[in-house]
Homo-oligomer: A and B are copies of this chain.
């Protein structure tokens, strides 16, 4: 038998496995990308008509800023390489730098995916943390301040805490488990959102002496489309976090993800019916998202039955949390803090309660991770927002808020009922 021929066959089989794994990672990447449309739709649907262009504009800019910031600096802060193992901080330099020996690709991360696949998959994640903030601060934040906050958040805050776990830092060494980012992505976005809405204050007219005034979103179809697209993308978010196309691993994650989302819907349906005596679509939509956020930390560890329990509890949490934040007069137009922060914490702790790693010790570690990342992110976000507040200002004028950000910041309306003269003719004639 010819040794060369055997080697050629082995290389062929390796290339085939590498191709299959990498194809899944890239498919997961496009699914995660579409979550940005999911967020854009959801947030648009949940804001008032007069602020629709503004929220769409922010969502377009967030993905653009997110990808570029993460390329410029974030990726190499989050994955600084072996030298920073177990540590708090590391940096491998600006831009992308193909590691030595990785050019051939197949050597990179044991044939599961290429270097560029690694970057682009992670980059799609990075921008989501800003999108979470964007929903919470909607309808009253200044566009420039928000975009500046996003640049800093994606460039520094998200990657540094991300490195603690996914970059091989101190939390990873301690045994913290956060499979796809209940804490690292969702709670991080949620903490940023919380800091921002504390400093920003509620929308004018939301909390009055006569009670809390719900401000319904302008388009439930847009909101529902957003939630379905987010669920769709979540199969890539969680499924891609297996970091290969391993059939047993990815398919288990699909099952836990899908069942937790379904159970989240049921949980929110029941809890909100008991609380409000009506079939509340917003709650069911957020219940689905809550179930998804809740299962994200342990999607790889749970049995299908446990996934249903975790998702159900997350769904039940949603209406309670929404009411809780409202009682604190923390105004969050889309419920982002309830979905991403509260259910993110729940999902992270659930890893210590259910599944293969359950135990008091693990629960303690999960708590440490939650608190450490929460503290860093909240302080970072509060600090940056505070600096923006005392310098550029973070809130639009009350008049602009009343008119709506579409006209005051963008000089255009989201919908044209009747034909009228547009606004840039002055500039070009």
Is the interface on chain A under 10, 10 to 19, 20 to 34, or 35 or more residues? 35 or more
Binds B, one of A34-42, A192-200, A335-343, A392-400: A34-42
Residues of B within 8 A of A414 (CB): 219-221
A174 within 8 A of B: no
Please, which residue of chain B has its CB at the minimum distance from the CB of A22? B247
- CB of A211, distance to nearest CB on chain B (Å): 4
Residues of chain B within 8 A of A15, CB atoms compared:
17
Q: A48 interface residue, CB < 8 Å from B?
A: yes
**From A15, A44, A60, A263, residue with most partner B Cβ within 10 Å:** A60
A255 at the interface (CB under 8 A from B): yes
Cα distance, A204 to B337, chains bound together (Å): 43
Contacts of A421 in B (CB 8 A): 213-214
- Say whether, besides A17-B19, A250-B22, A424-B278, A220 and B116 are in contact (CB < 8 Å): no
User: Which of A177-185, A223-231, A376-384 lies at the interface?
Assistant: A223-231
Identify which of B12, B68, B251 contacts A114 (C-beta below 8 A): B251
The docked-state distance in angstroms from the alpha carbon of A105 to that of B247 is: 8
Q: Once the chains bind, are B48 and A419 in contact (CB under 8 Å)? A: yes
CB distance from A126 to the nearest CB of B (A): 12
Q: A187: CB under 8 A from chain B?
A: no
* Contact A326–B428 (Cβ < 8 Å): yes
- Please measure, in the bound complex, the distance between the C-alpha atom of A211 and the C-alpha atom of B422, giving whole angstroms: 12
List chain B residues, Cβ under 8 A from A302: none
CA distance A212 to B429 in the complex (A): 7
B residues less than 8 Å from A37 (CB atoms) = 225, 228-229, 232
Q: Which residues of B contact A30 (CB under 8 A)?
A: 31, 232, 235-236
Q: Are B428 and A323 closer than 8 Å at their CB atoms?
A: yes
Report Cα–Cα, A132/B31, bound state, in Å. 25
Collect the chain B residues with CB atoms within 8 Å of residue A66's CB: 262
A86 within 8 A of B: no
Please report the C-alpha to C-alpha distance between residue A40 and residue B10 in the assembled complex, in whole angstroms: 47
Contact B24 A23 (CB under 8 A): yes
Once bound together, how far apart are the Cα atoms of A304 and B419, in whole Å? 43
Return chain B residues, CB-CB under 8 Å to A308.
68, 71
A76-115 interface code vs B (CB 8 A; 1 in, 0 out): 0000000000000000000110000000011000000111
Q: A113–B68 Cα gap in the complex (Å)?
A: 34
Query: A427 vs B248: C-alpha distance in the bound complex, in angstroms?
Result: 46
* Interface set, chain A 349-406, CB cutoff 8 A to B: none
Q: Which of B3, B14, B410 contacts A12 (CB 8 A)?
A: B14
Evaluate contact between B116 and A254: CB separation under 8 angstroms: yes
Do the beta carbons of B262 and A63 come within 8 Å of each other?
yes
Instruction: Kindly report which residue of chain B lies nearest to residue A415, judged by CB atoms.
Output: B219
| Interchain CA distance A427-B211 in the complex, whole Å | 11
Is A173 on the interface with B (CB-CB < 8 A)? no
Determine whether the beta carbon of A258 is less than 8 Å from that of B27. Answer: no
0/1 string, A310-341, CB within 8 A of B gives 1: 00000000000001001100000000000000
Beyond A44-B221, A56-B221, A60-B284, 6 additional pairs, beta carbon < 8 A: A1-B3, A30-B31, A60-B265, A220-B415, A275-B427, A278-B424
List 30 interface pairs A-B (beta carbons < 8 Å), by A numbering.
A9-B13, A18-B247, A19-B24, A19-B246, A20-B23, A23-B27, A23-B245, A23-B247, A24-B26, A26-B239, A26-B250, A30-B31, A33-B232, A44-B221, A48-B416, A53-B220, A61-B265, A63-B265, A67-B259, A68-B259, A113-B251, A114-B248, A117-B247, A120-B251, A120-B258, A212-B429, A216-B412, A218-B417, A278-B411, A280-B412
